[in-house]
Amino acid sequence: MTGRAAVVTGASRGIGRAIATALAAAGQAVVVGYAGSAAAAREVVDHITAGGGRAVAAQADVADERAVAALFDTATEAFGGVDVVVNSAGRMSLAPIAELDLADLDDLHRTNVRGTFVVAREAARRLRPGGAVVMLSSSVVGLQFPTYGAYAASKGAVEAMTMVLARELRGRDITVNAVAPGPTATELFLDGKDEETVARLAKQPPLERLGTPEDIARVVAFLAGPDGRWVNGQVLRANGGIA
């Protein structure tokens, strides 16, 4: 994938960081998009460049269309264009539907739904032929865990946008897919969960463990690379076999 350039949002930590690192290891130049932590994004850039890769950091609120346009401008200025877009930026708010604060719902949907739409729109306008878009959904869309109502709804919207965009880009040689992780050992997932809950969730897949960010990153790198060119308009549930 040498000569290709990727924009990865939410790349300063967790799954996004692993994705940025995996794409760089495969030869892509990477724009490490981040929302708030410049220091964490710089660590990702330093890690990539120390390994011989190319990367720059750029701040953007994915729900802000001007900021996202500037993110893509950074990729064009630094690397000549954009070939891969991975939207890993996301927010999670957990509560029973009857109890969820609507302000939390609005914040969640601003990032997960509007943000995904804004990134998808810019990708549709900018990607070069041979490009790939990978959105991050979640296996909770199908698993329907209690307290995940708002989050699952937002990720259901991500999957719908993925399917529509894949068809709208007909004839442009651009693939559009989503990866839906199951329980994955990230700071976002582990926050607020006790050891018993984590252990119970880890036992659910037949493989009897939590996923790792690297597990998800390898799936994304496949979809973003030459071996994934015949996969289009799909949701890959990377969850270790949870039904």
- Which of the residues are catalytic? 151
Other beta carbons less than 10 A from residue 102's beta carbon: 8
Counting every residue, how long is the chain? 243
Best CA proximity match to 140, nearest among 131, 149, 132: 149
Answer for the pair 32, 55: CB distance below 8 angstroms, yes or no.
yes
Tokens of 199: 């252990």
Angle at 172 between CA 167 and CA 175, to 5 degrees: 60
User: What gap in Å lies between CA 113 and CA 2, rounded to an integer?
Assistant: 32
Tell me how crowded residue 67 is: count the other CB atoms within 10 A of its CB. 16
* Cα R_g (the chain), whole angstroms: 17
Do 72 and 79 form a contact (C-beta atoms < 8 A)? no
Cα atoms found within 13 Å of the Cα of residue 3, Cβ hemisphere only: 4
